[in-house]
Structure 1
Amino acid sequence: MAWNGEDIYRKHAEGVYRYLFSLCGEADTAEELTQETFCQALKGLGTFRGDCTPGSWLCAIAKRLWYKELERRRRTVPLEDESLSHLTAPDDPAAELELRDDRNALYRAMRGLSPETREVLSLRLAGEFSFREIGEILGRTEVWARVRFYRGKEELMRKLGGKERHG
């Protein structure tokens, strides 16, 4: 199959970005890693064997880059307080706090899932990948991805539904 970089980017950039955003939760980092993913993919286009979908192949590259980024972050010094001074306050602090609390509850619940289950949920919900593609990305079957997703979703619902809300 003859591809050009523009076609590959146009068809897959949004999915790769969503996948990376689901992993890191940072728009800037997801954008940078998306660009790097496509740079690496273009360099290695001749090595693509076609035994998975292009989207799966790109997400495998993206995942590897995210792990490299995590490793780099572990070696760097934390930000100084002065570097955070440019951040602005939200327009509606109460709504922002509630949204942050909901997100924190979801993240805490997801931390309680196995790493594979978290990744399947992220790929499906944020990356909008099919179960077949998820299986390809993770080196498993479509059925495995489907079962892992539904069990993970049920576990999350139990964790979040069982939590009493105050306020």
Structure 2
Amino acid sequence: MNIKKICEEYYPLVLGYLLTLANGNRDLAEDLTQDTFYRAIKNIDGFRGDCKVSTWLCQIAKYTFWQYLDKSNKYKQVPLDEVMNISAGELVEEMYIREETNRALYESIEKLDSLTKDVMLFRLTGEMSFKEIGELLDKTENWARVTFYRGKAKIGKEMNSYE
């Protein structure tokens, strides 16, 4: 396998994947992408070819991300400027309601099965196309579309019961 070609070809995909997992934190995603490729190069002999290279790299990226979370205990990252930026006239009650609604939404997403949760997060936070999601998860574009809409329906039911 040509390591240079793999790095050049799959770097944008892995970076995008990690940007999604890191909630758009570009610095963190870039660091984790470098760690991912370091691990991939170090373990290139362990790649059996059972899946696409992109799937293998994204599995390494996911593992790298979860290791980062375990080490840092940063399960939720909120930029300081976002916390401090309260718009004029916004009531504390409105902020509380919005935050509770967001919390309920993410709790609903967390209750989904692993693949559906990944599809939802890639689509909502990563702004990935259904085609990209399908390729990333080694599925079809149509599968990604159907999984997203089924997940959306489940979340809708959950949110209706929340309200």
Normalising by structure 2, we get a TM-score of 0.64
1:45-68 residue CA offsets vs partner (Å, 9 max, x unmatched): 222122211111111000001111
Q: CA deviation at 1:144?
A: 6.8
Matched residue, 1:69: 68
The one of 83, 108, 115 equivalent to 1:112 is 108
Which moves more between the two structures, 29-38 or 146-155?
A: 146-155
Instruction: Determine the C-alpha separation between the residues in 1 that align with 2:108 and 2:51.
Output: 30
Pair 4,115 (structure 1): closer, same or farther in 2 beyond 3 Å: same
Matched residue, 1:20: 18
Identity %: 31
Instruction: Determine the C-alpha separation between the residues in 2 that align with 1:13 and 1:67.
Output: 19
- Where does 1:1-167 land on structure 2 (aligned, <5 Å)? 2-5=1-4, 7-25=5-23, 26-74=25-73, 93=87, 105=101, 108-113=104-109, 114=112, 116=114, 117-124=116-123, 126=126, 127-128=128-129, 129-131=132-134, 133-134=136-137, 136=138, 147-156=146-155
Instruction: Determine the C-alpha separation between the residues in 2 that align with 1:104 and 1:8.
Output: 43
Write the letter of the residue equivalent to 1:54: V
Residue pair 2:104, 2:159 contacting (<8 A) in 1 also? no
Instruction: Determine the C-alpha separation between the residues in 2 that align with 1:51 and 1:123.
Output: 24
Instruction: Determine the C-alpha separation between the residues in 1 that align with 2:104 and 2:42.
Output: 38
| RMSD, matched Cα | 3.8
Give ranges in structure 2 of 5+ residues lacking alignment: 75-79, 89-96
Residue pair 1:21, 1:27 contacting (<8 A) in 2 also? yes
Normalising by structure 1, we get a TM-score of 0.63
Instruction: Determine the C-alpha separation between the residues in 2 that align with 1:68 and 1:119.
Output: 18
Matched residue, 1:81: none
Pair 14,106 (structure 1): closer, same or farther in 2 beyond 3 Å: farther
Matched residue, 1:79: none
Give ranges in structure 1 of 5+ residues lacking alignment: 77-83, 95-100
